[in-house]
Amino acid sequence: MRGGLPEGLASVAGFQLSKCGWWLEQRLEEELQPLGIRVRHFLVLAMLSTSGALSQQEMAGYLLLDPTLMVGLVDELEARGLCERTRDPRDRRRYSVRITEDGLALHHRARALADEVGADVFGPLTDDELRTVVKAIGRVMEPFWAEQRVRPRRKR
Amino acid sequence: MRGGLPEGLASVAGFQLSKCGWWLEQRLEEELQPLGIRVRHFLVLAMLSTSGALSQQEMAGYLLLDPTLMVGLVDELEARGLCERTRDPRDRRRYSVRITEDGLALHHRARALADEVGADVFGPLTDDELRTVVKAIGRVMEPFWAEQRVRPRRKR
DNA sequence: TTTCTATTATTAAGTCAAGCGATGATCGAG
DNA sequence: CTCGATCATCGCTTGACTTAATAATAGAAA
C-alpha cells in the first residue's frame, strides 16, 4: 500500500511515472520563479546552451510545443537579452536563435536549481538505482525522439 | 547523442522522464478511444476497482485534479452505467461512488490495453531494468502521496 | 525565367479545459 | 443550536493550445 494510494491506481506504472514527471516540473517551476523564468524558458536555454543555433521550428519539435508558441517564448527571452535572433543566411526564412552570455549565465543558475530539485526528489534512491533509472528512461525514449522529430504540427 | 536531441536537453533528467510520462499517456489515450473513454476515466475506474467506495473529493486528491472536474467525470461514467452514486449514509454531503459490473468489465479491458502500451514503450528494457525502474519510481513517489493527499484544492 | 508548391515565422481568432469564487447542504465542535 | 469546515455543484474567468490566414523565402518544375 503506497502512501494510501489505492492499489488499482498505484499498480498502473504509467500513472506513477507520469505524476513523477509532473511533480518534478512543478517543483522546478517554483524554484525558477525567483529567476523570473518558467520551465519552458529553461528548457529552451538548455537546448541552446549546447547547440550553437537552432530555428524556432526545431526547438518546437524537441519540446513538443506548437511552433506558434515558440514565437512568444523567444520574444520573452530576447527581450531580456537571454538569446538573440538573426536570420539564417543560408535560409532567410528561418531565424538562427542563439544564446547570449547573459543567457548562458542564467541557464547555469537555473540548471543548478534543476539539479537540486532532482537530487531532492530522487533522494530516496541509491546512486546505483538513479543511474539505472536515468539510463533506462533515456533508452526508452530513443525511438520516440527518432520518430517524433518529424512533426511540423500536432494533430487532434 | 540521444536521437538527435540536443545534449543540453537530454541531460535534464526530469525532462526525459516527464516526456516519457506524457508519451505513455498519449499512447494510452489513443488505445482507449475504441472503448469510448479517456485516460482519466480509466484511472477513476482503476481506483474504484480496488477501493470499495470513494468520495469525489478523495478521487480528485489521488488524481491531482480539481474536485470540480470530478463532477463531470463521474457524470459521464454514471451515464454509461460504469459507476453509480449513492449518498454516503454516514455523511450525507458526500457521495459514495462505486463501480458497477459493467465498469469492472470495461476496466479489465482498458487495463489490458494499458499493459500493452506499457510493454510496448518499455520494450527496450530488460525485465530486470523494468522492475528496478518501477520499484524506484514507486519509492520516489511515496513522500509525494503522503504529503499531497491532504490538499482539497490546488493553489496558484 | 516564370510559376507552383513547401517551409518558416507571425498574427489574430477561436476552442477548450483548468482553476477560482460562490452557493447550498450537511457535518462536527463547542 | 450557532459557527466554522467540508462536500458537491454551478458559472465565470483565465490562460493554454489550436486553427486559419498572411507574408516572405526557398526550391523544383514548366
3-state secondary structure chain B: CCCCCCHHHHCCHHHHHHHHHHHHHHHHHHHHHHHCCCHHHHHHHHHHHHCCCECHHHHHHHHCCCHHHHHHHHHHHHHCCCEEEEEECCEEEEEEEEECHHHHHHHHHHHHHHHHHHHHHCCCCCHHHHHHHHHHHHHHHHHHHHHHCCCCCCCC
How far does chain B reach from its first CA to its final CA, in angstroms? 37
Q: Which residues of B touch A7 (CB under 8 A)?
A: 50-51
Q: Check residue B148 and give its pLDDT.
A: 62
- Measured from Cα to the C1' atom, the residue closest to C27 is B91
Q: Which of B5, B11, B140 sits opposite A125 (nearest CB)?
A: B140
For position B149, what pLDDT does the model report?
A: 58
Mutation target for B interface from A47, A141, A142, A151: give the one with most B CBs within 10 A.
Answer: A141
**Contact of B17 with A137, CB cutoff 8 Å:** yes
Q: Rounded distance, CA B12 to CA B36, Å?
A: 36
pLDDT score of B10: 86
Q: What is the pLDDT of residue B147?
A: 72
What are the distances in angstroms from CA A150 to CA A95, A142, B35, B77? 19, 14, 29, 37
Q: Is the CB of B57 under 7 A from strand D?
A: yes
Q: What's the confidence (pLDDT) of residue B103?
A: 95
Q: In what helix (H) or strand (E) does residue A105 lie, and over which residues does it extend?
A: helix A101-121
- Measure B129 CA to nearest chain A CA, in Å: 7
Tell me the chain A residues in contact with residue B138 when contact means C-beta distances shorter than 8 Å: 2, 10, 16
| Protein residue closest to D6, using CA and C1' | B93
Query: Using a CB-CB distance cutoff of 8 angstroms, which residues of chain A are in contact with residue B121?
Result: 140
β-strands B83-88, B91-99: how paired? antiparallel
B16-52 pLDDT, tens digit per residue, is 999 999 999 999 999 999 999 999 999 999 999 999 8
D14 C1' – B34 CA distance, angstroms? Answer: 33
Residues in chain A with pLDDT values less than 50? 1-2, 150-156
pTM for this prediction: 0.88
Given the DSSP bridges, would you call strands B91-99 and A91-99 parallel, antiparallel or unpaired? unpaired
Beta bridge partners of A83: A99
- Are the beta carbons of A47 and B8 separated by less than 8 Å? yes
Instruction: Test A3 with B125 for CB contact under 8 angstroms.
Output: no
Is the Cβ pair A12, B47 closer than 8 Å? no
Cβ atoms of A59 and A94 within 8 Å: the answer is no
* d(CA A59, C1' C6) / Å: 20
Residue with cell 506513477: A16
Whether residue A5 contacts residue B47, with contact meaning beta carbons closer than 8 Å, is answered with no
* Segments of chain B with pLDDT less than 70: 1-3, 148-156
Task: Please report, rounded to whole angstroms, the spatial distance between the CA atom of protein residue A48 and the C1' atom of nucleotide D23.
Answer: 27
pLDDT of residue A88: 85
Q: What H or E segment, with its residue span, contains residue A86?
A: strand A83-88
